[in-house]
Amino acid sequence: MERPVRNLVIVGGGTAGWLAACRIGARRRLDAADPISVTLIEAPDIPTIGVGEGTWPTMRKTLEQIGIDEADFLLACDASLKQGSRFDGWVTGEPSDRYLHPFAPPAPVAPDDLIAAWLEQPDLPFARAVSPQQHICDLGLAPKQKGMPSYAGALNYGYHLDAGKLAALLARHATTRLGVRHIRDQVTRITATDNGDIATVETRSHGAIAGDLFIDCTGHASLLLGGHFGINFVDRSPVLFNDRALAVQVPVDQQASAIASQTISTAHAAGWIWDIGLPTRRGVGCVYASSHLSDEQAAETLAAYVAATSPHVDASALGFRALSFRSGHRERFWHRNCLAIGLSAGFLEPLEASAIVLIELSLDALLAGFPADRALMDIHAGRFNQLFRYRWDRIIDFLKLHYVLSQRPQPYWQDHRAEASIPQGLRDLLQIWQYQAPSDRDFAAAGEIFPAASYQYILYGMGHSPSANSPFQGGDLAEARKALEMVRQKARVLASGLPSNRAYLASLQPARQPLQERTG
């Protein structure tokens, strides 16, 4: 063996750094003869954005793997239960223009048969026809009942949460339960070995910290991968135009107000507005392209939305936080003995909440293909880079789909429909889907972030109708019709037994104190 990989150094905290520390800390064998050590270096003066975050259902497995109870998590992170994303105004902008991308998959029937059976009910939205989750979301109900075990539910779900509080919870758990060494200090210099690897990161007060594998979680700065190694940033803004956001925290009535079951994404003339419901507030933000909307116009758009959705709130008294970004990613994500995770690897506009799930998937891949020895690291790095370049490309295709299918007339939306801005792979799929439904055969990789079902929800939610010119007759639709009837029955049963989101979250309060109160 050339050199065992035993000392892991994570540079940067936040969601990415502390998820990495917890996943690795929970997985390592402390009884090994030479156990892996995990050190996290966190600058003491880096603020968290705290705009409200959404996760995918994968977060349930992640939290369970690292040993955090679900009720503790929900209370400590001011979290709520997310069952999907709702899109308002994305097709035409009319008041009735609305569809849902739920987390529950469609009824388990051959896709083409399912679509044919749904088209027999032309007035029924696709998501409502093929899954009970839209009915539950429309009613503002939780996906689980009180008394269900942690991370179990009657329907698939993820979370809305306060990202700053999540990072704090993960930090406490990592340092008090998982043996992670935490250094609060500023990195001042990076030194290299003779072969070009990172040898140490030098800090202002703690000196040089040596490691075998360095995980770059330094955010947009990408201090190690981008700054030290100079790995280029691949700009994807010619496909995804948005580069600005204004964020605000909107107070709510913590006793009586409803908590939305889904992220609400409302289109406007040159972008869209996110609305994330938490127990104590709503996180709201206006995403826009500076090439199509001025900062002043964006502020007016956001203020008008807050006034319309929270008429009791004085929007002018709330402070808007300005954010700038570029949609894109590093050319490579793992170079020599440095792996970038989170914002240091890249960022895409927050549509469909891909940021945290990319962190989770990156850690899954690292742990599944962990380099026991430095001699193996370049092989694992090559496989990682190939997989994640594919994943970033597929996320970009999926996000672009939301814009390509819009019929809105504003220049921003017209520019999104210009053929030159649409990736060739997506153009090919759109041609195929004129004659057949999205299916697993359209996606080559196992473990797709957005599977065929997600494409179906967007495609048919936005009004796409498959051509009737297929050269083959459809299958026997009896099974598909039966499946859609079972969806209707399940929706009725669930609606009669599930509590509201606020009622479910309130039921946790007497049973638990937030973890920080119990651990000091």
pLDDT given at position 510: 65
Confidence of residue 201 (pLDDT cuts 50, 70, 90): very high
Asked, for residue 163, whether it belongs to a domain, the answer is yes
Q: Do 108 and 179 sit in the same domain of this protein?
A: no
351 burial via Cβ count (<10 Å: 0-12, 13-18, 19+): buried
CATH number at residue 329: 3.50.50.60
Q: Do 428 and 309 sit in the same domain of this protein?
A: no
Q: How far apart are alpha carbons 226 and 434 in whole angstroms? A: 42
Q: Do 273 and 198 sit in the same domain of this protein?
A: yes
3-state secondary structure 350-409: CCCCHHHHHHHHHHHHHHHCCCCEHHHHHHHHHHHHHHHHHHHHHHHHHHHHHHHCCCCC
Q: Do 322 and 176 sit in the same domain of this protein?
A: yes
Asked, for residue 457, whether it belongs to a domain, the answer is yes
pLDDT given at position 62: 98
pLDDT given at position 200: 98
Q: Do 324 and 290 sit in the same domain of this protein?
A: yes
Q: How large is the greatest C-alpha to C-alpha distance in the chain, in angstroms?
A: 73
pLDDT at 50 over 80: no
Q: How far apart are alpha carbons 28 and 25 in whole angstroms? A: 6
Range 5-28 average pLDDT: 96
Q: How far apart are alpha carbons 106 and 112 in whole angstroms? A: 12
Q: Do 81 and 122 sit in the same domain of this protein?
A: no
Residue range of the domain that includes 473:
104-142+423-510
Q: Do 203 and 192 sit in the same domain of this protein?
A: yes
Q: How far apart are alpha carbons 173 and 219 in whole angstroms? A: 22
pLDDT given at position 278: 96
Residue-averaged pLDDT of the chain: 93
Q: How far apart are alpha carbons 122 and 118 in whole angstroms? A: 7
Q: Do 48 and 60 sit in the same domain of this protein?
A: yes
* Residue whose C-alpha is closest to residue 22's, from 217, 221, 218: 217
Confidence of residue 519 (pLDDT cuts 50, 70, 90): very low
pLDDT at 373 over 70: yes
Q: Picking from 51-60, 185-194, 464-473, 486-495, which range would have the lowest pLDDT averaged per residue? A: 464-473
How many domains is the chain built from? 2
Q: Do 97 and 126 sit in the same domain of this protein?
A: no
Q: Can you name the residues that pair with 202 across neighbouring β-strands?
A: 189, 208
Give the Å distances, CA to CA, from 276 to 4, 375, 487.
45, 45, 27
Q: Do 112 and 92 sit in the same domain of this protein?
A: no
pLDDT at 446 over 90: no
Tokens (6 digits) for 305: 């939305």
Q: What is the pLDDT of residues 91-116, one digit of tens each?
A: 999 999 999 999 999 999 999 899 99
What's the full length of the chain, in residues?
520
Q: Do 351 and 451 sit in the same domain of this protein?
A: no
pLDDT at 341 over 50: yes
pLDDT at 465 over 90: no
Give the Å distances, CA to CA, from 353 to 161, 214, 324, 349.
12, 26, 17, 9
Contact 270, 289 (CB under 8 A): yes
